[in-house]
Amino acid sequence: MAIIRDKAASQNPLQDDISPKESSLRPSSSLQKRLQTAQPQKKLTSPISSTQDNGENHNYGALNYTNIADYRFGKVLGQGAYAVVKEAQHRSSMHTVAVKVYDKYKLTDVQRRKGVQREIRLMRRLAQHENIVQLYDAIDTQRQIYLIMEHVEGQCLQQMMKFRHQRRLSSETEAARMFAQIMSAVEAMHLMDVAHRDIKMENILVEARSGRVKVIDFGFSCLSKERLKVFCGTPSYMSPEIVSKKEYFGGPADIWACGVLLFTLICGTFPFKSITTEKELFRKINRGIFTYTLPDVSSEAKDLIKQMLNVEPSERPNASMVLQHQWFRSNGCFKNKSCTLMDSSELAENTTQEEVEQKTQL
């Protein structure tokens, strides 16, 4: 279904607001300690040699490490209302990248421009996680903004599931290994105070060779401590607080969307659906009542999904708690190389103290 974007925006989209109700977003004390004792971050790791360094463009926060003339453009990989993603090749290194192109004439609204600024800033913050697509450069030209990103050879989860029996994964073990990677990425985002706000199968890429998961499309991303009123996302993945148009935090909304995603991976269908109207769909989401279409879903999987699809945002587990659930261990999946997960301590080692301080400044 198409993404819904509301013209309304939060009164201060860059405000870093804190509320007691967002306690479910807070990482464990051990993870907080790792983050606080982080070592200096290396410069953005890119396989592309920089031909120039124009510094940061303050209009959009562009990096301008390279020049757009350094790239040879190819096929279109995806297209949305405000941007198109194209395949491109860096001329000197011959490295293939994905380039998200924003036409500036579509960004005349102040909130749209701030959204692009935020996307660049937050992607830079998340540059070191193996399950999050990397941003190599952001180039500001007279008519366009170009986001030079990691190219993933593979397909999105939605495409992959089309060719699976009953449009679901073959076992809960396979689902656990894939979902653990997704939650590892979400955990990293929330540790860095970033909420994605559009987690869905179309925004999860799976590498063809390694099976590694990559979370993409940070166009709706925001600070996880930011109070929001913006009605956005994809209807089937929206949380009750969003469809009710209440003030909400992005982190718990991400957890709800991940719960919908897990249900879909295991069952091959959405937990909440309507063949009539969106109003009926939203009514079902608000009630939070769903049934399993398959008889063989394990009790542990049901327990995890039930926790994540709690209609009360403050009672949902945070990403770290989700990863500690017994369901992962029962399926032989731990936070180690067997699930191709990046440990949070590795993330912290690539985080500068300056980035930690900037959490309250973005």
Give residue for tokens 């500001």.
Answer: 140
Tell me whether residue 198 is one of the annotated catalytic residues: yes
Assess contact for 41 and 351: CB atoms under 8 A.
Answer: yes
Q: Could you say which of 198, 296, 303, 343 is catalytic?
A: 198
Is 100 labeled as ligand-binding?
A: yes
Is 203 labeled as ligand-binding?
A: yes
Is 302 labeled as ligand-binding?
A: no
For 348, other C-beta atoms within 10 Å of its C-beta total 23
Which of helix, strand or coil describes residue 213?
Answer: strand
Assess contact for 215 and 133: CB atoms under 8 A.
Answer: yes
Rg (CA), the chain: 20
Is 70 labeled as ligand-binding?
A: no
Alpha-carbon distance of 131 to 204, in angstroms, equals 9
Q: Minimal CA–CA distance to 149: which of 61, 214, 238?
A: 214
Q: How deeply is 196 buried, as exposed, middle or buried, from its count of CB atoms within 10 A (0-12, 13-18, 19+)?
A: buried
Query: Positive or negative CA dihedral for 12, 16, 17, 19?
Result: positive
Residue by residue, DSSP assigns 309-326 as T-SSGGGS--HHHHHTSH
Assess contact for 96 and 77: CB atoms under 8 A.
Answer: no
By DSSP bridging, strand 222-223 and strand 135-140 are unpaired
Alpha-carbon distance of 17 to 11, in angstroms, equals 12
Alpha-carbon distance of 122 to 113, in angstroms, equals 14
Alpha-carbon distance of 23 to 222, in angstroms, equals 17
Query: Positive or negative CA dihedral for 216, 221, 224, 230?
Result: negative
* Residues annotated catalytic, as ranges: 198
Which residue ranges are tagged as binding site? 100, 202-203, 217
Which residue ranges are tagged as binding site for ATP? 100, 202-203, 217
